[in-house]
Amino acid sequence: MKLFIFVLSLISLGFADDEINSRYFPENFKFGVANAAPQIEGGWLEDGKTETVWDHFAHTRPEMIVDRSTPDIACDSYHKYKEDVAMVKAMGLDYYRLSIAWARILPTGYPDKINQAGVQYYKNLFAELKAVNVEPMVTLYHWDLPQSLEDELGGWLNETVADLFAEYARLCFELFKDDVKMWITINEPKQVCQAGYGTGFFAPGVVSNGVGEYICTKNVILAHAKAYHIYDNEFRAASQGRVAMVVDTTWFEPASDSAEDQEASERALQFNLGLYANPIFIGNWPQVVIDRVAQRSALEGFATSRLPAFTEEEIAYVKGTYDYLALNHYATNMINATSDAPIADPAYWKDISVVTWKKPEWPSGSADWFGVVPWGLRHLLVWLKKTYGDVEIVITENGLSDTTGIMEDDHRISYYQGYLSACLDAIYEDGVNLSTYTAWSIIDDWEWTGGYTSFLGMYYVNFTDPERTRIPRKSASWFTNMVATRCLVDTCTK
């Protein structure tokens, strides 16, 4: 019944087949699927790997994880990576996005001891991908800081961690220079900093609203820039690879034509995405973020802005550290301006000062933020082009989360069809330089605080089976067919 209502609402929203773009994907357009070490590998203390902040968080703060689960075994990809690669091959994909676990390569977090077993694991994985002609897209940091660096140095609140990340990145660039050409430094700095060092909802669980999250943000951006320059200076000429940092945002659709709501949308985008992208693509923080945080900080009694300033040297050092724009996007919100919150304790949400909501008729996945609105992606892609110029955009994540894990996942097929159609609209109608679409995810995984209760996989994983059996959902065959035909409907045109 639920599914029936869902499909009906998709049709009433114009997601029905006749609304789907019927052009072929361009010949050079690439498809991939994504996942990340802490969510699938397991083997959490195996062969020399040490604890990460997420291992620690799940073990010491089980109340923060919906089902009190841990990622100790997860999909057991540490042992079953060949099965994962076989699935990627069967889907006919160009890319497999995966991440390297810092604590598997450098168990102390420092570059003093290299864990050869960890290095060998990734070497094997890359060899397996090469054998089936699939290119790895590799994230160096998908939220899994070695716990030692949190304990000893205070994690991302300490700029030394940015230097340590750069050393770890240099080592990976060197170790895997023949295997990897598509690098991602850091995944979703917003989640690392806002949830990790602001609200404390994510590991390492530091609560420092409106203060720690901005300090973290500056350090993470510097870490990215240091890694980028290392690649540029020491590896690019010989390796010919590409490097970027993944940014993420929902789309914020202004609820009215009023100047206030239009500004609220722009402000939310600048706080959610510009905070991370502006220093890299334009230079420095977005002006609206600088102004608002400084203004509220002064009223709150801070001597300087809670947003740490970049020096002129840092602005120049960070600016231009990209080879493409990597984007994670899942959902849309409507947005209104609101009056500023009274001056009291600082908070990031008070700095933004907007109200977000979803239209009741929008289908949703499992989470509150999950408004399924394909045109939101198109609007976002156009906004990125307008804001950062004609940069190549790689969608590094997009997908639907549900709580049922249903195998006949027609709602996921509709989601992919709608969002991929929005990509075609952006390419053909709006001239957006979009080269790649990477779906999240190929398999169900450990969804952070969602544990094993939130499903995004095109393959179901039986987490109670020691074999962690993987079984394709209906969406896996739809996606495979889509990649083969490069078309979203029965018949496409050039």
Does residue 70 interact with ligand NOJ by CB under 6 A?
no
Euclidean distance between CA atoms 380 and 98, whole angstroms: 25
Q: Rank residues 297 and 438 by Cβ distance to ligand NOJ and give the closer one.
A: 438
Torsion, Cα 255 217 322 389, to 10 degrees, reads 30
x-or-dash string of contact with ligand NOJ, 294-333, rule CB under 6 A: ----------------------------------x-----
Among the listed residues 84, 128, 253, 397, the single contact to ligand NOJ using CB under 6 A = 397
Of the listed 188, 213, 253, 314, which one is catalytic?
188
Judged by CB under 6 A, the number of residues near ligand NOJ is: 10
Verify whether residue 266 is a known catalytic residue: no
x-or-dash string of contact with ligand NOJ, 455-474, rule CB under 6 A: -x------------------
Under 8 Å between Cβ of 264 and 349: no
Q: How far is the CB of 143 from ligand NOJ (least distance, A)?
A: 7
Among the listed residues 41, 51, 188, 266, the single contact to ligand NOJ using CB under 6 A = 188
Q: How far is the CB of 367 from ligand NOJ (least distance, A)?
A: 8
* 219 exposure class (CB count in 10 Å sphere: 0-12, 13-18, 19+): buried
Q: Rank residues 324 and 440 by Cβ distance to ligand NOJ and give the closer one.
A: 440
Under 8 Å between Cβ of 132 and 146: no
Residue carrying the six token digits 């399924």:
372
Which H or E run contains 355?
strand 354-357
Does residue 425 interact with ligand NOJ by CB under 6 A?
no
Q: Which of residues 87-126 bind ligand NOJ (CB under 6 A)?
A: none
Euclidean distance between CA atoms 222 and 216, whole angstroms: 10
Q: Rank residues 353 and 366 by Cβ distance to ligand NOJ and give the closer one.
A: 366
Does residue 444 interact with ligand NOJ by CB under 6 A?
no
Verify whether residue 397 is a known catalytic residue: yes
Task: Give the type of residue at 303.
Answer: A
Q: Rank residues 36 and 395 by Cβ distance to ligand NOJ and give the closer one.
A: 36
Q: Rank residues 115 and 187 by Cβ distance to ligand NOJ and give the closer one.
A: 187
The β-bridge partners of 96 are 33, 136
Q: ∠ CA 182-477-76 to the nearest 5 degrees?
A: 60
Does residue 447 interact with ligand NOJ by CB under 6 A?
yes
Strand order across the 354-357 sheet: 251-254, 332-337, 354-357
Smallest CA-to-CA distance from 309 within 285, 330, 282 is with: 285
332-337 and 354-357: which strand pairing? Answer: antiparallel
Among the listed residues 440, 455, 463, 479, the single contact to ligand NOJ using CB under 6 A = 440
Does residue 187 interact with ligand NOJ by CB under 6 A?
yes
Under 8 Å between Cβ of 406 and 340: no
Report the half-sphere exposure of 152 (CA within 13 A, side-chain side): 11
Of the listed 83, 135, 397, 447, which one is catalytic?
397
Which residues in this chain contact ligand NOJ in the complex, by CB under 6 A? Answer: 36, 39, 187-188, 328, 397, 401, 440, 447, 456
Show which residues are catalytic. 188, 397
